[in-house]
Every structure is written in structure tokens, then in C-alpha cells.
């Protein structure tokens, strides 16, 4: 469809071929990054790092809001050295389970939770805060 549209608008075969090659290169790079992240997440799962980090975060004797603010400050520091997508891909497999555990778990009701939202609400809330925070830093 797009190829027919390009030919219809007068593009030459040489231009179309170079566009298709660049698209293939970019797609290969994106998939290589995704495969790397999948291997990284699998390694973290085998090493049980997210559970260990969650247990450590929950065992701290401080306010859950203070812990969340410290996590966001860590994102601000990481933002000095990395781009937003790289930060999210590297840190969310470890930080997200910790925030959910800090709230009280995935199946917690809003009344019993630390942040005042249910488990699903906490996931959505944390995602919005992190994305908004990374766009402002």
C-alpha cells in the first residue's frame, strides 16, 4: 500500500529501495533492543532480584510516600546519564514489583493499601507518575 503510494507520487525506485533498507535497519535495531530487554528480564527473574528488592523496600522503616519520592529522585539522577526509554527498560522490572509490594500487593483493596488505591490502581498510578516525571526531568 505504502509502496504503491510512493510510486504514485513519483518516487524513483532508488529512493524507495533506500527507504526500505533504512526501515529494515531501524526495525532490526528496535527488535535487538527488545530481545536484549527480554533476556535481561528473564535473567532478573532467574536471579530473583525483583522479589529480593521488594522485600528489602517493604522492610524499610519509613513512609511509603518517602520511598516513592526516593525512587523518583533516583530516576532524576539516572536521567542525567540515560535517556527515558533506557531508564524505564532497565529499572521497571525491579522497581515496579517493589512499588506494588509497598502498596500492599496486587490484590489489595484501596482501604487496606499504603497509597490509598487498589493494586490495579497503584499500577496505573505509578505508570502515570513515572512517565510524567521522566517527561519533566
Structure confidence by residue, pLDDT tens digits, 61-110: 899 999 999 999 998 898 888 888 888 888 898 999 999 999 988 889 88
pTM, two decimal places: 0.73
What confidence tens digit (pLDDT) does each residue in 4-41 have?
A: 656 656 667 777 788 889 999 999 998 998 898 889 88
The pLDDT assigned to 67 comes to: 92
Q: Is 116 helix (H, G, I), strand (E, B) or coil?
A: coil
Domain closes at, from 47, 63, 85: 47
Q: How many structural domains comprise the chain?
A: 2
Q: Do 58 and 112 reside in the same domain of the chain?
A: yes
Q: Do 57 and 40 reside in the same domain of the chain?
A: no
Q: Which domain holds residue 120?
A: 49-137
Is residue 117's pLDDT more than 60?
yes
Q: Do 28 and 72 reside in the same domain of the chain?
A: no
The burial of 79, by beta-carbon neighbours within 10 Å (0-12 exposed, 13-18 middle, 19 or more buried), is given as: middle
Q: Do 37 and 62 reside in the same domain of the chain?
A: no
Whether residue 88 contacts residue 134, with contact meaning beta carbons closer than 8 Å, is answered with yes
Amino acid at each position: 500500500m505504502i509502496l504503491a503510494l510512493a510510486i504514485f507520487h513519483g518516487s524513483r525506485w532508488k529512493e524507495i529501495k533506500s527507504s526500505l533498507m533504512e526501515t529494515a535497519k531501524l526495525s532490526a535495531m528496535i527488535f535487538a533492543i527488545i530481545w536484549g530487554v527480554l533476556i535481561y528480564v528473564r535473567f532478573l527473574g532467574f536471579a530473583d532480584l525483583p522479589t529480593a528488592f521488594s522485600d528489602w523496600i517493604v522492610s524499610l522503616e519509613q513512609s511509603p510516600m518517602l520511598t516513592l519520592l526516593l525512587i523518583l529522585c533516583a530516576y532524576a539522577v539516572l536521567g542525567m546519564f540515560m535517556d527515558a526509554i533506557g531508564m524505564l527498560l532497565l529499572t521497571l522490572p525491579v522497581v515496579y514489583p517493589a512499588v506494588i509490594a509497598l502498596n500492599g500487593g496486587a490484590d489489595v483493596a484501596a482501604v487496606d493499601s499504603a497509597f490509598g488505591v487498589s493494586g490495579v490502581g497503584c499500577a496505573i498510578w505509578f505508570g502515570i507518575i513515572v512517565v510524567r516525571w521522566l517527561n519533566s526531568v
